Amino acid sequence: MRSSTVRDSLIIALSAAALVALWWGGSLVIGAPIILPTPGAALRSLAGILRSPTFLTAVGATALRGLAAFGLSFVGGLAVGLGASRARWVDSALQPLLTVIRSTPVMAVILLAMIWFRTTMVPVFVGVLVGFPIVFASVVEGVRALDPRLTQMARVYGIRGPRLALHVALPSLVPYLVGSASASLGLTWRVVVGAEILAQPFAAIGTALQTAQARLETAQVFAWTVVAIVLGAAGEVGVRALGGLVPWRRGADQG
């Protein structure tokens, strides 16, 4: 197992190095920093951004918007999904709305949200709207995948109500929740930053990206993109780490 982990880590490192080498070679061939700066130029811009007094404000504001959108979409998707899994008419009634949400271009949603809300709320609204269907579908699928024999056996032993949900339903649902949370959060970060680019709230990674693009500072665009990638990756890793700490999930896996 350890040798396999080392091998996978080596492959990932080599793949990352190959991408950087391809980027560096492409920048040399093009020879125009305004189109494709070198990795070194992007790193220098990143270092300057990290020293900027507005860096933490922009990252913190975007992180708060992303976490707010994720939290609202996750709680809403969980609550409505549990209701829909118990009453099929709720699921059927929601399908037209979910189809509209999934089919509507994100840019159209952002433009409408810019009409309806303040600039600071636009990314949150769009993030909730995009993340909700993912969590909802996973919850419904997880509840319906529960083996009815487990529920029947638990009731034979007098396990009902909240105890039934905690010890029988929840362990089966946790993998679905972790998977949907990871997918929803990853998409939420991208949507939130995209909405910030158009809405341009006062402090935001998206606003910084738009400003750098307007000034034709391509290296800064790359640098802020790296910041957004790191923020999104950290969020997904955090979700999966928290999912692994859930005690009833470990108990279910051992069983």
Q: How far apart are CA 224 and CA 207, in angstroms?
A: 10
pTM of structure: 0.80
| Residue 219 contacts residue 207 (beta carbons within 8 Å) | no
Q: How far apart are CA 144 and CA 135, in angstroms?
A: 14
Pure H helices in the chain? 2-30, 39-51, 55-86, 88-103, 106-116, 122-144, 148-156, 161-164, 170-199, 205-214, 218-245, 247-254
The count of domains in the chain is: 1
22 in any annotated domain: no
- pLDDT digits 0-9 by tens, 93-152: 888 888 988 888 999 999 999 999 999 999 999 999 999 999 998 888 887 777 667 666
48 in any annotated domain: yes
Joined tokens for residue 52: 């900027």
- pLDDT digits 0-9 by tens, 178-224: 888 888 888 898 999 999 999 999 889 999 999 999 999 999 999 99
Which residues are within 8 A (CB) of 183 and not within 5 positions of it... i.e. 6 or more apart? 134
- The CA–CA distances, whole Å, from 24 to 17, 21, 36, 39 equal 10, 5, 9, 6
5 in any annotated domain: no
Write out the residue range of the structural domain in which residue 168 sits: 41-254
| Residue 33 contacts residue 219 (beta carbons within 8 Å) | yes
2 in any annotated domain: no
207 in any annotated domain: yes
91 in any annotated domain: yes
125 in any annotated domain: yes
- The CATH number of whichever domain residue 208 belongs to comes to 1.10.3720.10
71 in any annotated domain: yes
Q: How far apart are CA 207 and CA 127, in angstroms?
A: 17
